[in-house]
Amino acid sequence: MEDAIQNAKLNQADNIEFLTGDAGQLTEQLLNEGYRFDTVFIDPPRKGCDQQTIETLIRLNSPKIIYISCNPATLARDLAKFTEQGYNVKVIQPVDMFPQTYHVECVVELRKKD
């Protein structure tokens, strides 16, 4: 978080807010406060997103979701839920952060269908 704040200052980005906490609870709180999001980034644990978190993210109605995953199985499960709710997978980019192991990170861009 400190690096993100410093980076925002270096780039004179004054229209940005950084929050930490439980994703489901924070998202619900922000939704209730009337926040709207152009892009949402999620990086869930290996078990993926729980159903409540996915439902809350869908309610945000963000045009773009960036999903970062370390587990292809839970990624596939969660992407199926997002596509059922009106999102298309635009890009999936695997990232080999742990060479010569079976571990792979994936970065996925989801876009809300028009």
Task: Report, as residue numbers or ranges, the catalytic residues.
Answer: 70
Distances (CA, A) of 82 to 6, 37, 51: 33, 17, 11
Helix (H, G, I), strand (E, B) or coil at 57: helix
CA 66 to mean position of chain CA atoms: 5
Phi, psi (degrees; rounded to nearest 5) at 90: -95, -45
Beta strands in 1-114 (DSSP E): 39-42, 64-69, 87-95, 105-112
